[in-house]
Structure 1
Amino acid sequence: MNRRELLVMASALALSPAVARAAVGDAAAARDAYLYALPLIEMATTRARLLKAPGAGINQLTHTRTLSDHAARRVTTPNNDTLYSSAFLDLTQGPVTLTIPPLGKRYYSVAVMDMFTNNNVVLGTRTIGGQGGTFTLVGPGQASTGPNPTRIATPHAWLLIRTLTDGGADLDAAHKAQDGFTVKGPAGGAVAAYANRDAKPSDYFATARALLASDPAPPTDLRILARTATFLGAGPFDEAAATAGVEQARTIAVFARGRQTFVDGWSYPRANLGDYGQDYLYRGIVALQGLGALPVAEAMYMKAAGDDGTGTFTGDGLYRLSLPAQLPLDGFWSLSMYEATPDGQFFFTDNPLKRYTVGDRTPGLKRNADGSLDVWIGRIDPGGERATNWLPAPKSGPFALYLRAYLPRAELLDGRFRFPPVTKA
C-alpha cells in the first residue's frame, strides 16, 4: 500500500463527527466490525502463542521436528502429513530474504499470508518446482533490489512452511530439508499484547483498532470500514451497542460453522479459500476453524457431513469410508480424525495406535482386490482384518473427519469428481 492509499484509508477511518454520531448505537455495525477484525485477532493470538516457543522471534524461522499429535494445540486442525516451519515477519524495517533449498521430488509449500489471512504467495512444488531459490519479501511501499521480489500486502505477515514426511526413518531427511530453509531480515521489534476473540467488546475493538493501525486494510475494504468506523475507527462508541453486536457476531460464527453445504456427504471449500476478497464472514470462519488454510489449487480440505449433516459425528458405532483405487491428485491425500472442542475448534485425539490420520502413505493398509480402500472409523477396535485400516475416534464426545487432497487435478477442482460419503457400517 502506497502513501496515497494509506491517506485514503485514514480518511475512511476518521469520518466526520456527524457521520460518526449517526452510527453510535448501531449493533449491526458492531457485529460486522467484530467479524471483519476476527482474522487479525486470530493471527495476533497465534503470533503471541508461537513466539513463546524456545528460540522463536520475529523474522526468525523455527521448526517443528515431529509430526503433530494430540498434544499439538497451537493451531486448530493441524495436519499429520507435513512438518511445519514458521516465522512471523516484520517488514517495516526492510525486506526479508527467504531461501528455499533444492528439495527434488519431496513435496513442500511456503505460504506467506498477510495479517488478514490471505495467501499472498505460495512458493513450492506446484509453483516453482523442486530446484529451490532465493526470494525477497517486500512490504507495502518498499523498494527492493533483491532477487525475485515478492510483494506482501501488509507490513507484518506469517510465513508457514509445510515439508512432507512419512515420519519414522524419513524424519532425518525431512529435518535436513527443513534446515535448508532460511529467513533473514532486520531484527523485529517487540510485539504488543493483544486481546483475544473472547475479550470483552471494549478490549476487542481496542485491539482491532491497534491491529488495523499496524496493518492497514486494502482500499477494497473502504466500504465496510466506513460502515464500521464507529468501532474500528477513532473515537468513543456505545458500549451497549458493542455488546449486542458482539453477541450477534459470536452467534453468527457458531451458526455459520454448522451451516456448511454438503455434497454426497462432504463439504467442499469455496474457490476463494485462502484469498478471500470481500468474503469477510467466510474469512472469519476459516480463521476460527482452519487458520493458515492453503488456496484450493494447492490443497483441498473436505469435511464429512457427520451423523446429522452438520459436520459432527457422535455415534459409538463403526463407520466406513470406501475410496477408489485412484484419486485425481498430483500430490497425496489423508483422512484426519479430530475431537471437537466446545468453542468449535478441532484437534487430534489420543488413541492406542497413536494414529491420527490414514492416507496414501500409511504403512500396512490392506487394499481390496480392485485396489480400492476401506477405512474403518470408530471408538473401539473393529477387530480382525478391519483393525489394519482402523482410524480411531475419541473414546467419547463429538468428533469430525477432514479429508485433505494436495495438488488436486481439474476434475476435483471443478466438481466432476466427488468423494464417496462416510457411512455407518
Structure 2
Amino acid sequence: MNRRELLVTAGMLGLAPGLAARAATPADATAARDAYLYALPLIEMATTRARMLGAPGAAVNRIDHTRALADHTSRRVTTPNNDTLYSWAFLDLTRGSATLTIPPLGKRYYSVAVMDMFTNNNVVLGTRTIGGEGGTFTLVGPGQGAMGPNPTRIATPHAWLLIRVLTDGGEDMAAAHKAQDGFDLKGPAGVAPAAYAARDAAPEAYFASARALLASDPPPPTDLRVLGRTAPFLGAGPYDAAAAAAGVDEARAITVLAKGRQTFVNGWSYPRPNLGDYGQDYLYRAIVALQGLGALPVAEAMYMKAAGDDGAGNFTGDGLYRLSLPAHLPLDGFWSLSMYEATADGQFFFTDNPLGRYTIGDRTPGLKRNADGALDIWIGRADPGGDRSANWLPAPKSGPFALYLRAYLPRPELLDGRFRFSPVVKA
C-alpha cells in the first residue's frame, strides 16, 4: 500500500466509523491490518489485566484500591487522572454472577464503570445514574440467569470494573479511603488468566493471542461481517506470513498516524458521541484502547485534547502558554486540566515537576481568579513568576507534552457543541 492509501485509511478516524470493507483472501494484508486493529482492545485489556493482577495480593473478582492520587510514577494506564482515587477489579463470571455493593456516598462524586473485554462500558453506576444512596447490583455474565438484586448484564464473561472516587487530597484523603472501603464485591473464585502477547509481539504470536481471547470472550453477532473478512487471522486460517507481517506493519503505522488525524475545533479536539461504547467503529475503538484505555462515555465525562503547536496535539515550545476559562463552566461535576509527557509509542503520563502539580482544576487551592471570576492558567517549563505562579501548570523540562481537559457530568450545551473552550495560546 502506498503512502496516499495509508493516509486515506488513517483518515477514517474523522470520516466514517468502522473499517474499510474489502474482500479478504488468505494472503491479503488488508485483512491482517483489520484483524490487528479489531483485536487491539482485547490485547490491551489482557495486557493491563496481567500487569495489575501481577501486584502482590491481587486476584480476580476482588476489589483492590489505589490509595494515592496518580503522579509521575503511575504508568499502569495511559492518561491517568489526578482527581479521583481508583479502585478496580477484573471479573471472571464464567462460574457465576458477582454481587457488587456500592456504599452511600452522598454528594461525593463517584462512578463504577464495568467494561467488557472489547472496552465498551456496559454500565456506569454512580452519581449520575443511581445517585448518592448506593445499592447492591448483580453482575451477570452471558447466558446466565438474572438472579439477585438489580441484575446487570455484562457482555463478556470477563470484564474490568473500574471505580473512581473524587477527592480533594490532603485532609480529605481519610474520608476518601473510607468511601473506597465501602465498595464490596463477592463472586466465585476466579481462574487466573492465561498469558497473552502484547501489541508489539510478532504477528504469529499476536494473532494466536487474539484468537484465544476471542474464544475466551466471544464477540457479539453484530461483528460477524468483520470476523468473516478477517477469518484467516482471527479464525481458523490459514494465512500467508508475509501478508500478515505487511498488514500488521500497516496497522501499527495507522495507530501512529492517528495521533495527527484528530479534528480540532477552536484549539481542542472533542470526543465522538460513541466514546466508551463503540458499536462497529472498530478503528476508533482501537485508537482509544491505545491512547485512553478505560475512557468513560461522554455523558459521564468529556475528554478534550489541546491542539498544541503543531495542530496535532503536541506542544514543543519553551515559552509560556495561557488557557483562559470563564467563571462558570457548563457541567454538573468538576473539571481539571492535566499535563502529560508524550512517549514514543503514543501514550501519555504525568511528568515530574518542582511543585508536584500534575493538574489544575476547580478544587486546586490557592488559584488567583480575575475580577470577573475568570481564570488564567499559565503553562510552561519555567515558573512564570509573580502572581502567575499560583496558576502555573509545569511542563516537562524538555521534550513534547500534551494537555487534556476533563469535564465531568457535562451539561447539554457542552455535549452538543453550543459551548466551546478557548484555545491554549502563546503568552
Question: Do residues 136 (structure 1) and 110 (structure 2) align?
Answer: no
Q: How is 1:137-216 mapped onto 2 (pairs within 5 angstroms)?
A: 137-216=139-218
Equivalent position amino acid for 2:393 in 1: L
Equivalent position amino acid for 1:141 in 2: G
Q: How is 1:45-124 mapped onto 2 (pairs within 5 angstroms)?
A: 45-124=47-126
Q: What do the CA deviations read for 1:235-278 (whole angstroms, capped 9, x no partner)?
A: 33110000000000000111112100000000000000000000
Q: What do the CA deviations read for 1:296-327 (whole angstroms, capped 9, x no partner)?
A: 00000000000010001000000000000000
Task: Rate the CA distance shift 1:22–1:67 in 2: closer, same or farther, 3 A.
Answer: closer
**Equivalent of 2:46 in 44, 47, 66:** 44
Counterpart contact for 2:65–2:88, Cα < 8 Å: yes
Equivalent position amino acid for 2:330 in 1: P
| Residue in 2 that maps onto 1:241 | 243
Instruction: State the alpha-carbon separation in 2 of the partners of residues 300 and 307 from structure 1.
Output: 22
Instruction: State the alpha-carbon separation in 2 of the partners of residues 345 and 183 from structure 1.
Output: 31
Q: What do the CA deviations read for 1:131-173 (whole angstroms, capped 9, x no partner)?
A: 0000000000000320000000000000000000000000000
**366-375 vs 232-241, which deviates more?**
232-241
Unaligned runs of 5+ in 2: 1-22
**132-141 vs 52-61, which deviates more?**
52-61
| Residue in 1 that maps onto 2:13 | none
Q: How is 1:168-317 mapped onto 2 (pairs within 5 angstroms)?
A: 168-317=170-319
**Residue 97 of structure 1 aligns to a residue in which SS?**
strand
**Residue 23 of structure 1 aligns to a residue in which SS?**
coil
Question: Do residues 338 (structure 1) and 340 (structure 2) align?
Answer: yes
Runs of 4+ more than 2 Å apart = none
Instruction: State the alpha-carbon separation in 1 of the partners of residues 278 and 146 from structure 2.
Output: 27
Equivalent position amino acid for 1:380 in 2: A
Q: C-alpha displacement at 1:176, in angstroms?
A: 0.2
Equivalent position amino acid for 1:302 in 2: M
Instruction: State the alpha-carbon separation in 2 of the partners of residues 215 and 375 from structure 1.
Output: 45
| Residue in 2 that maps onto 1:354 | 356
Counterpart contact for 2:24–2:230, Cα < 8 Å: no
Unaligned runs of 5+ in 1: 1-20
RMSD between aligned residues = 0.8
**Residue 214 of structure 2 aligns to a residue in which SS?**
helix
**Residue 341 of structure 2 aligns to a residue in which SS?**
strand
Task: Rate the CA distance shift 1:364–1:22 in 2: closer, same or farther, 3 A.
Answer: closer
Instruction: State the alpha-carbon separation in 1 of the partners of residues 327 and 171 from structure 2.
Output: 26
Instruction: State the alpha-carbon separation in 2 of the partners of residues 258 and 188 from structure 1.
Output: 41
**Residue 114 of structure 2 aligns to a residue in which SS?**
strand
Q: What do the CA deviations read for 1:395-419 (whole angstroms, capped 9, x no partner)?
A: 0000000000000000000000000
| Residue in 2 that maps onto 1:411 | 413
Instruction: State the alpha-carbon separation in 2 of the partners of residues 93 and 121 from structure 1.
Output: 21
Aligned positions, number: 405
**52-61 vs 283-292, which deviates more?**
52-61
Equivalent position amino acid for 1:192 in 2: A
Instruction: State the alpha-carbon separation in 1 of the partners of residues 274 and 222 from structure 2.
Output: 16
**Residue 174 of structure 2 aligns to a residue in which SS?**
helix
Normalised by the size of structure 2, how large is the TM-score?
0.94
Counterpart contact for 2:24–2:229, Cα < 8 Å: no
| Residue in 2 that maps onto 1:424 | 426
**Residue 222 of structure 2 aligns to a residue in which SS?**
helix
Counterpart contact for 2:323–2:422, Cα < 8 Å: yes
Instruction: State the alpha-carbon separation in 2 of the partners of residues 169 and 52 from structure 1.
Output: 31
| Residue in 1 that maps onto 2:11 | none
**Residue 296 of structure 1 aligns to a residue in which SS?**
coil
Q: C-alpha displacement at 1:22, in angstroms?
A: 7.0
| Residue in 2 that maps onto 1:14 | none
Q: What do the CA deviations read for 1:1-46 (whole angstroms, capped 9, x no partner)?
A: xxxxxxxxxxxxxxxxxxxx97111000000000000000000000
Instruction: State the alpha-carbon separation in 2 of the partners of residues 212 and 297 from structure 1.
Output: 29
Instruction: State the alpha-carbon separation in 2 of the partners of residues 154 and 220 from structure 1.
Output: 14
Equivalent position amino acid for 2:30 in 1: A
**Residue 160 of structure 2 aligns to a residue in which SS?**
strand
Percent of aligned positions that are identical:
83
Equivalent position amino acid for 2:403 in 1: L
| Residue in 1 that maps onto 2:6 | none
Q: What do the CA deviations read for 1:107-134 (whole angstroms, capped 9, x no partner)?
A: 0000000000000000000000000000
Instruction: State the alpha-carbon separation in 2 of the partners of residues 364 and 245 from structure 1.
Output: 52
Q: C-alpha displacement at 1:281, in angstroms?
A: 0.5
Instruction: State the alpha-carbon separation in 1 of the partners of residues 257 and 131 from structure 2.
Output: 41
Equivalent position amino acid for 2:207 in 1: F
